[in-house]
Structure 1
C-alpha cells in the first residue's frame, strides 16, 4: 500500500512538472517571463514614478507606482509609440489598440489593450494600480516603434472613445525591456 501511494504521488508530481504554461490560468506568473519598464517623467523632466509590464499566463500584467503627481484621479493608458517628447507628450501617439476595440471597460465595444483602470493619487502625490490585460504580448508592447505609458490630467470616464475624456498628458515614459 505504501509503495503504491508513493508511486501515485511521484506520478502526480511528474505530471505537474510536465504541464506546459499554456494551461495556466490567465494572470499566473510565468517562470522566466520577460518584463519591461517605463520611467515616468513630467513635462519638467522630474521623475514621477514607473510603470512595469510583466509576462503572465495569457497576457501582460501592468503595475504603476506613481509619486509626485497632482492629487486626484488620473486616466492612465498604454500608447502606441515609444516617444515622450515634452511638454505635451503627443509623440506617444494614440492608445495601444491592436485588436481595434473601442475605448473603455464600460463601453460595450471595448476595452482595447491600452485601457487601464484609473490611478488615484493621494495628497502626497503617490498612487498605485495594477491590472492584467488578457491577450497582450511583450512582442506587441516592444514592437519596432515601441510603446509608452501616459498619465493624463483627469479621470478616464471608462467609456468615451478614443481616450475617455481624461484630459491632457501630464507624464510619460517609454517601455524598455528589463
Structure 2
C-alpha cells in the first residue's frame, strides 16, 4: 500500500510539472530593430592583407534595415567573396584584424542572412565579374544606421574576405583573410 501511495504521489507530481511547462508562455520575440536616424552612410574600402581590393559602398536606411550599393574591384575574375559587418570600426591593422569579429549584438550563431539564426552582420557572398569587379545591391535586414541602438552599424566596419562564406563554419564561415576594410561613417 505504501509503495502504491509513493508511486501515486510521483505520478501526480510529474503531471503537475508537465502541466506547468505546457502552460508556460512562449519566449518573448526579439524587440523590433530601432529605426535609423541617419539618411546615408559610406564605407570607403581600403586594401588589407596585401590585396588589391578596394571600393566605395553607400549605405541607406530602407524598410527593416540598411541597403548597401556600390562597387568593389581588384578581385580575381569571377571569384566569390564573403562580406560582413564587423563589430569595430577600426581597420588600422594590416590584416584588418582590428575590426574584431562579426557584428552580432543578439548572440546568434553565424549563418546565411536568410536563415532564422545568423549574425546581424552576415550577408550573402558577392561575385566578381570577368573584370574582377563586384557591384553591390544588398539589403541587410534588422540593423539601423545611426542612433546608437544595439543594432546600429554606424561606426562598425565593412569587411570583405578572400574566400566565399560557407555559412556553416563557426564563428565566421571559413571565409579566409580580410582583403578590404572600411569604417562605416554617417555622411548625412
Residue deviations 1:36-72 (CA, integer Å, cap 9, x gap): 1100111369671122221112211123411122331
Q: Is the contact made by 1:37 and 1:52 (CA closer than 8 Å) also made in structure 2?
A: yes
Q: Which has the larger radius of gyration?
A: 2
CA distance in 2, matches of 1:45, 1:119: 17
- Out of 17, 39, 55, the residue aligned to residue 34 of structure 1 is 39
Q: How has the CA–CA distance of structure 1 residues 156 and 83 changed in structure 2, closer, same or farther, with 3 Å as cutoff?
A: same
- How far apart are 1:106 and its partner, in Å? 7.6
Aligned to 1:130: 137
Please list every run of 5 or more consecutive structure 1 residues that lacks an aligned counterpart in the other structure.
Answer: 1-29
Residue deviations 1:111-156 (CA, integer Å, cap 9, x gap): 22101110111231201232222221113112xxx21111101000
Structure 2 residue 73 is the aligned partner of structure 1 residue 57: no
- Cα RMSD (Å): 2.4
Q: How has the CA–CA distance of structure 1 residues 138 and 108 changed in structure 2, closer, same or farther, with 3 Å as cutoff?
A: closer
CA distance in 1, matches of 2:76, 2:87: 25
> Any runs of at least 4 consecutive aligned residues in structure 1 with deviations exceeding 4 A, and if so which?
44-47, 106-109
Q: May I ask how many residue pairs the two structures share in their alignment?
A: 145
Q: Is the contact made by 1:33 and 1:56 (CA closer than 8 Å) also made in structure 2?
A: no
Helix, strand or coil at the partner of 2:180: strand
Please list every run of 5 or more consecutive structure 2 residues that lacks an aligned counterpart in the other structure.
Answer: 1-35, 147-151
Helix, strand or coil at the partner of 2:98: helix
Q: How has the CA–CA distance of structure 1 residues 115 and 173 changed in structure 2, closer, same or farther, with 3 Å as cutoff?
A: same
Correspondence 1:27-106 to 2 at 5 A: 34-43=39-48, 48-71=54-77, 72-105=79-112
Helix, strand or coil at the partner of 1:91: helix
Normalised to the residue count of structure 2, the TM-score between the two structures is 0.69
